[in-house]
Amino acid sequence: MAATGCATGQRPAAEGLIEWYRDVISPADGDRCPMVPSCSHYAQEAFSRHGWFLGWILTSERLMRCGHDEVHLAEPIWTADGLRHVDPLAANDFWWTERKTP
């Protein structure tokens, strides 16, 4: 079941860390995430959808996979930034979310 929110102060902290990464680390390190969405966008969605704890687990797991096995397993697509590999949050949290029956 999906988390409905975060405890007070946790959501802004997660968003602040992601923004700091995008503003400070990413420009210095370079845009090199081979995945779509990027790891920072994936993290932002994970924290927003599942709260701090599960968001952290999903983000950590994504960072460990990024650029490794996933580039051989995920669907490749061409974007304005070049070849990327599709790995949406929905492909990794399906067992935590409620399924709607037709």
Residue 23 domain flag: no
Rounded mean pLDDT for each run of 10 residues along the chain, 102 residues in total: 49 79 82 87 92 92 84 87 90 72 54
Per the structure, the complete domain to which residue 42 belongs is given by: 33-95
In a domain, 101, yes or no: no
Q: What is the pLDDT of residue 100?
A: 53
pTM over 0.85: no
d(CA 29, CA 21): 10
Q: What is the pLDDT of residue 27?
A: 81
> Does residue 22 form part of some domain?
no
pLDDT for the residue 95: 77
Query: Tell me, what's the pLDDT at 98?
Result: 63
Domain-embedded: residue 15:
no
Give φ, ψ of 67 to 5 degrees.
Answer: 80, 0
Burial of 95 (0-12, 13-18, 19+ CB in 10 A): exposed
In a domain, 46, yes or no: yes
> Where do runs of H (alpha helix) occur along the chain?
10-20, 26-29, 39-65, 70-73
> Is 77 part of a structural domain of the chain?
yes
- Supply the pLDDT for residue 99: 54
Q: Provide the number of structural domains found in the chain.
A: 1
Residue 18 lies in a domain: no
pLDDT at position 4 is 46
